[in-house]
Amino acid sequence: MQQDESLDGLPIPSRVWIESHATDPEARDIIVEMEDGSIFTGLFVTPAYVERQMTLTADLCRQIPDTVPARFVALDTPHIVVESLERDTIEDTIDNLLVLEVFECVFTQVTDNPVTDPVTGSTTNGNGRRATQEVAAVVLTDVLRVEE
Q: Other CB atoms closer than 10 Å to residue 136's CB: what's the count? A: 19
Confidence of residue 86 (pLDDT cuts 50, 70, 90): very high
SS3 77: coil
SS3 42: strand
Between 45 and 122, the more confident residue is: 45
How far is CA 49 from its chain centroid?
A: 16
pLDDT tens for each residue of 4-62: 445 567 889 999 999 977 788 999 999 999 999 999 999 999 999 999 999 999 999 99
pTM of full prediction above 0.95: no
Between 137 and 92, the more confident residue is: 92
Q: Which of 95, 99, 102, 86 is nearest to 18 (CA)?
A: 86
How far lies 27's CA from each of 8, 12, 15, 68, 74, in Å?
32, 24, 19, 27, 16
Q: What is the reported pLDDT for 11?
A: 85
Q: How is the chain split into domains, by residue range?
A: 5-147
Confidence of residue 119 (pLDDT cuts 50, 70, 90): low
Region 74-91 average pLDDT: 95
Between 112 and 68, the more confident residue is: 68
pLDDT tens for each residue of 63-80: 999 999 899 999 988 999
On the question of pLDDT at 93 being above 90, the answer is: yes
On the question of pLDDT at 126 being above 50, the answer is: no
Q: Please give the DSSP secondary-structure letter assigned to residue 114.
A: P
Q: What is the dihedral of CA 92, 94, 96, 98, to 10 degrees?
A: -150
